Amino acid sequence: MIGRLLEGVPRRGLAMLAALLVLLIVFPFFASGYLLAVGFLILYFAYVGQAWNIMMGFAGQLSLGHSLYVGLGAYAAAALYVHFGISPWIGLGASIALCALAGAVIGFLAFRFGVGGVYFAILTIAFAEFARIGFDHFAWVRGSSGLFLPVANYTENDLWNLRGSPAMFYYVMLALTAAAFVLCHALLRSRMGYYWLAIRESPEAAQALGVNIFRYKMYAVVLSAAMTSLAGVVFAFYYNNLFPEQIFHISRSIELILGPIIGGIGTLVGPLVGALLLTGLAEGMRELMLQLGVEVPGVKQVFYGICLLLVVMFLPNGVWPPLARKLKL
């Protein structure tokens, strides 16, 4: 199994990955609280970017509503914890089920009736917006006044209830990101991965080669939604507050797809590189502005816009493919 996973992976690539992993593991021992928070964000965006990439990068289905899955996942686990004291590790079962179901409903409506391309993207936005407005009036999770998780000063990490230090959250997110990376790598080499890429490149040709395109597009949406929900769970327990206006907002959906777009859609490493570049640079710039004493609202958005513009103009396949050639991978 492991042998097959490693087959054909260049030694250099493996060594670099191992080095990166070690670096990420030791990072909290040296990082300040602020840097650790940035590190968590980078991993968070790398993970959700990877999940989104399954749908868009592999199967070619553009989702602009992934905040729906982040939000549903977050709310499901948080509400179960707040109301019944259920551990998020159990609650995430509900999150996964709920998001898989939501993904299946959206996928079914779209693919059964031949909705594709931009129209599919609009449908995903619509569902995220339904959720945003619906949750504003959903009293069980406190509606628009927000759902808060009980917070105390924790002397030790309670991993079972996800209560504890930022370093614990960082490691949980790191484990998720690493697992997603390995999973996507394995998927790309499987029959399902080949079928996804075929559907992305030419649905008609894929179908003529015996691929049930409806079924495989459904797999992509459901898997992507389920994976994204896990990020939502961690997000909820890390920030301890949830507002429909924020978590379901379209800007959150856009934010999470920038990483893979800038890193390289459809590549394994793209979401990681994209998240590192975007979040790292954006936070670095914010810090710089703070030091300089200038405060410009919305500077992060402008920065994202410029990054996107540059990548679209000069590196239409993202940063990673040319970088990989430079590194001889």
Residue 246 CA neighbour count, 13 Å, CB half: 12
57-70 CB burial, b ≥16 within 10 A, e <16: bbbbbbbbbbbbbb
Q: Indicate whether 191 belongs to the interface with another protein (CB under 8 A).
A: yes
Q: How far is the CB of 191 from another protein (least distance, A)?
A: 5
Interface map 206-235 toward another protein (x if CB under 8 A): xxxxxxxx----------------------
Q: Contact, 78 vs 147, CB < 8 A? A: yes
Q: By C-alpha distance, which of 156, 147, 185 is closest to 271?
A: 185
Q: How far is CA 167 from the centre of its chain?
A: 20
Q: List the one residue from 45, 58, 69, 195 that touches another protein (CB under 8 A).
A: 195
Q: List the one residue from 29, 30, 204, 314 that touches another protein (CB under 8 A).
A: 204
Rounded Cα distance, 124 and 133, in Å: 15
Stretch touching another protein by CB under 8 A, among 37-45, 115-123, 189-197, 268-276? 189-197
Rounded Cα distance, 259 and 178, in Å: 16
Q: Indicate whether 86 belongs to the interface with another protein (CB under 8 A).
A: no
Q: Indicate whether 12 belongs to the interface with another protein (CB under 8 A).
A: no
Nearer to another protein, 167 or 197 (CB): 197
Q: How far is CA 179 from CA 21, 160, 172, 227, in A?
A: 12, 19, 11, 11
Q: List the one residue from 6, 118, 205, 309 that touches another protein (CB under 8 A).
A: 205
Number of H helices, E strands in the chain: 15, 2
On the 0-12 / 13-18 / 19+ scale of CB atoms within 10 A, 150 is exposed
Q: How far is the CB of 212 from another protein (least distance, A)?
A: 5
Q: Contact, 165 vs 172, CB < 8 A? A: no
Stretch touching another protein by CB under 8 A, among 102-110, 112-120, 159-167, 199-207? 199-207
Nearer to another protein, 83 or 215 (CB): 215
Q: Indicate whether 197 belongs to the interface with another protein (CB under 8 A).
A: yes
Q: How far is the CB of 205 from another protein (least distance, A)?
A: 4
Interface map 263-302 toward another protein (x if CB under 8 A): ---x------------------------------------
Q: Indicate whether 189 belongs to the interface with another protein (CB under 8 A).
A: yes
Q: By C-alpha distance, which of 214, 151, 156, 176 is closest to 47?
A: 176
DSSP symbol at 147? E
Q: How far is the CB of 139 from another protein (least distance, A)?
A: 45
Q: Indicate whether 194 belongs to the interface with another protein (CB under 8 A).
A: yes
Q: Indicate whether 94 belongs to the interface with another protein (CB under 8 A).
A: no
| CA dihedral over 259, 263, 264, 267, signed as positive or negative | negative
Q: Indicate whether 190 belongs to the interface with another protein (CB under 8 A).
A: yes
Q: How far is the CB of 268 from another protein (least distance, A)?
A: 15
Residues that bind another protein (CB under 8 A): 189-191, 194-195, 197-198, 200-202, 204-213, 266
